[in-house]
Amino acid sequence: MTDPVYRRRFGEPREPATRADPGRALARVIDFAVASHLRAVLFLIVVGALFYLPGFFTIPPVDRDEARFAQATKQMVETGDFVDIRFQDEVRYKKPVGIYWLQAAAVETATALGVPRAQLRIWLYRVPSLAGAIGAVLLTYWAALAFVTRRGALLAALMICASILLSVEARLAKTDAMLLCTSVAVMGALARIYVPWQRGEDRLHPSWALPAVFWTAIAVGILLKGPLILMFALLTIGALAIADRTGAWLWQLRPLWGLMWMLVLVLPWFVLIALRSGDSFFANSVGGDMFTKLAGGQESHGAPPGLYFALFWVTFWPGAALAGLAAPAIWRARWEPGAQFLLAWLVPSWIVFEAVPTKLPHYVLPLYPAIAILITGALERRVLSRTAWVVRGTAWWFVAPAVISVALIVLAIALTLQPVFSAWPFAAGAMIFSLFAWWLYDDNEAERSLLSAVAGSWFLGVVAYGVVLPALTPLFPSVELARVLRNVQCVGPEAAAAGYQEPSLVFMIGTSTVLTDGSGAADFLGQGSCRFALVEARQARAFAQRAEAIGLRYNINSRVEGYNFSQGRQIAVAVFSSEGTE
């Protein structure tokens, strides 16, 4: 019998409809996976690998952040200095050392296992991001179990796994996938303490496991990206304390012992970097990075409030199609213990991100698990909105992959002048499954529609990351320039770059690459044999004038054309060598 409080608040659920659709077969797979926690975990690991491995090994280094992180890690491995963080001779003190250590561990392990040229394989630097993304999916399942059934927790984890934003971050050698992993661990531990307490189910002698997870994840998050993870936790705790007018449950976190443990994990590196750099690290990371973002749009990334809300409908696809349908029920249930915690996790931090002038899409990624769990709660209760104009929004399940697939294929054809036939079957699969998700949607069959959309998301990922991006060689001129230098006949070539100076070039060619202008490239070329000048067209005149002035005789070895998407323009780079060098 339906609970009377439930019936009064949400209305009677209708009996589920029976109709044939692809979601039925996928629902049977979910039936099998939720039979035990072990099956669910193994299922999510397999699904995470299926989602994130296409393109993981084949997409070249992406400018600029990924290449900067990877190059700084490469220098750590080359020098054996795992305290200081540098990009060539320039200090890189915007973020702490955590992600560099994880990337270095992956590279060193691969080297020990005999992987050839491990330091130049960008996919090794992405391994922590892949692990962080799959870990975040698993921890979303774990955190969601505090709020919904095992089946609902699996659906929430699938929403996170299939989201476009996490699919991007899982393939980039950056901090954000690992930060998401630690953030979900922190919030999951908080939820498993708060929700039972709020329901009057708290134990007199709680275990140390949840406080250990909480404080360890806080420490790792700080080593990854500084105090940002503290913001998520403190804003959530503050919002709950205001709503409940008490914070008595916080004693279950064992704050004294927890703070001591966190400091044991965090302080050693901060002390070492302070001894190495004086106050430079803190001046750059706090003053030069954090405060700059608060004061204005850093590095041309400024945007008005509301940008994250607009981007959400794309970056959280396919789960975003259910967000509008779930919103009314979530609002009605806002004072329930579970919804109250999830909204405290989501709303205060979202407001802060919208208010800060500097905006990048991945900043709000640690808030997406809260949205997924809220949606799943409404989906489980079958209380999604039945308002006609809201239901029509499920067309987004089909519109998004159709537009993205067509745009990607057109872009690939325009840049490569090839028909990229291998992308077409997967694009068709993305649109077919997404069409079923929309066409067969019913509020009592929402789970099956969601599963069809998740399948469509996988096909879309194969199109984008597995086929199109690796084929867009004009977008990655550093790869071709590195190939040119690998094929020279002299031993130990050295290079100077003028005009085109992206971090990926330094990563691919070598740490000793000289970044200069046209005149400097000519001087560099005249200082010895087996030297090469990579001169972009805008610097060609200065190079030629300086070469004539110093009597430099040179050859042109090759010419590479491409598109510098960091600067949004076509480029042409000539590879010069001194006369007699090949």
Helices (H), 204-254: 209-225, 228-244
Selected residue with higher pLDDT from 578 and 159: 159
Verify that 466 and 495 share a domain, yes or no.
Answer: no
> What residue type is assigned to position 366 of the chain?
P
The Cα–Cα gap between 156 and 133 comes to: 14
Q: Would you say 312 and 320 are in contact if contact means Cβ atoms under 8 Å apart? A: yes
Could you tell me if residue 10 is inside a domain?
Answer: no
Instruction: Give mean pLDDT, residues 58-85.
Output: 96
pLDDT tens digit sequence for 405-424? 999 999 999 988 888 999 99
Q: What is the pLDDT of residue 43?
A: 98
Structure tokens at 254: 């064992």
In sequence order, which residues have a C-beta less than 8 Å from that of residue 124 and are 6 or more positions away?
103, 106, 107, 110, 115, 118
Residue 14 pLDDT greater than 80, yes or no: no
Instruction: Give mean pLDDT, residues 240-245.
Output: 95
Which of 426, 444, 472 delimits the end of a domain?
A: 472
pLDDT tens digit sequence for 110-136? 999 999 999 999 999 999 999 999 999
Verify that 461 and 488 share a domain, yes or no.
Answer: no
Could you tell me if residue 192 is inside a domain?
Answer: yes
Task: Give the residue from 20, 40, 22 showing the smallest Cα distance to 30.
Answer: 40
Task: Give the residue from 524, 551, 550 showing the smallest Cα distance to 535.
Answer: 524
Could you tell me if residue 82 is inside a domain?
Answer: yes
Verify that 361 and 507 share a domain, yes or no.
Answer: no
Could you tell me if residue 232 is inside a domain?
Answer: yes
Which of 381, 399, 427 delimits the end of a domain?
A: 381
Verify that 560 and 446 share a domain, yes or no.
Answer: no
Verify that 311 and 369 share a domain, yes or no.
Answer: yes
Verify that 51 and 121 share a domain, yes or no.
Answer: yes
Q: Please say whether the dihedral angle defined by the alpha carbons of residues 557, 562, 566 and 568, taken in this order, is positive or negative.
A: positive
Mean pLDDT of the chain: 91
Give the confidence band of 290 by pLDDT, cuts at 50, 70, 90: low
Verify that 59 and 92 share a domain, yes or no.
Answer: yes
Verify that 203 and 130 share a domain, yes or no.
Answer: yes
Q: What is the pLDDT of residue 3?
A: 41
Q: Compute the 3-state secondary structure of the chain and give helix, strand, coil in percent, each to the nearest 5.
A: 65, 5, 25
For 66-84, give one letter per residue: b (16+ CB within 10 A) or e: bbbbbbbbbbbbeeeebeb
Among 126-130, 164-168, 411-415, 478-482, the minimum mean pLDDT is found in 411-415
Task: Give the residue from 377, 383, 370, 369 showing the smallest Cα distance to 341.
Answer: 370
Helices (H), 53-175: 65-79, 98-112, 122-144, 150-162, 164-169
Domains in the chain, number: 3
Verify that 467 and 480 share a domain, yes or no.
Answer: no
Q: Can you give the residue range of the structural domain that contains 511?
A: 476-578
pLDDT tens digit sequence for 198-209? 888 755 556 899
The Cα–Cα gap between 318 and 400 comes to: 9
CATH number of the CATH domain containing 537: 3.40.190
Selected residue with higher pLDDT from 98 and 417: 98
Q: At what angle are helices 176-198 and 122-144 packed, to 10 degrees? A: 10
Verify that 71 and 212 share a domain, yes or no.
Answer: yes
554-564 and 569-578: which strand pairing? antiparallel
Q: What is the pLDDT of residue 405?
A: 96
Residue 2 pLDDT greater than 50, yes or no: no
Selected residue with higher pLDDT from 381 and 16: 381
The Cα–Cα gap between 574 and 498 comes to: 10
Verify that 500 and 468 share a domain, yes or no.
Answer: no
Could you tell me if residue 20 is inside a domain?
Answer: no
Could you tell me if residue 143 is inside a domain?
Answer: yes
Could you tell me if residue 24 is inside a domain?
Answer: no
pLDDT tens digit sequence for 526-578? 998 899 999 999 999 999 999 999 999 999 999 999 999 888 899 999 999 98
Structure tokens at 111: 């080297």
pLDDT tens digit sequence for 22-43? 778 888 999 999 999 999 999 9
| CA trace torsion 361, 366, 372, 375 (10° rounding) | -80
> What residue type is assigned to position 535 of the chain?
V
Verify that 91 and 136 share a domain, yes or no.
Answer: yes
> Model's pTM, two decimal places?
0.93
Give the confidence band of 579 by pLDDT, cuts at 50, 70, 90: confident
Which of 381, 403, 433 delimits the end of a domain?
A: 381
Could you tell me if residue 552 is inside a domain?
Answer: yes
Among 60-69, 298-307, 370-379, 383-392, the minimum mean pLDDT is found in 298-307
Q: What is the pLDDT of residue 256?
A: 96
- Going by the DSSP 8-state scheme, the letter that residue 80 receives in this structure is -
Structure tokens at 425: 């079957």
Instruction: Give mean pLDDT, residues 457-483.
Output: 96
- Going by the DSSP 8-state scheme, the letter that residue 358 receives in this structure is B
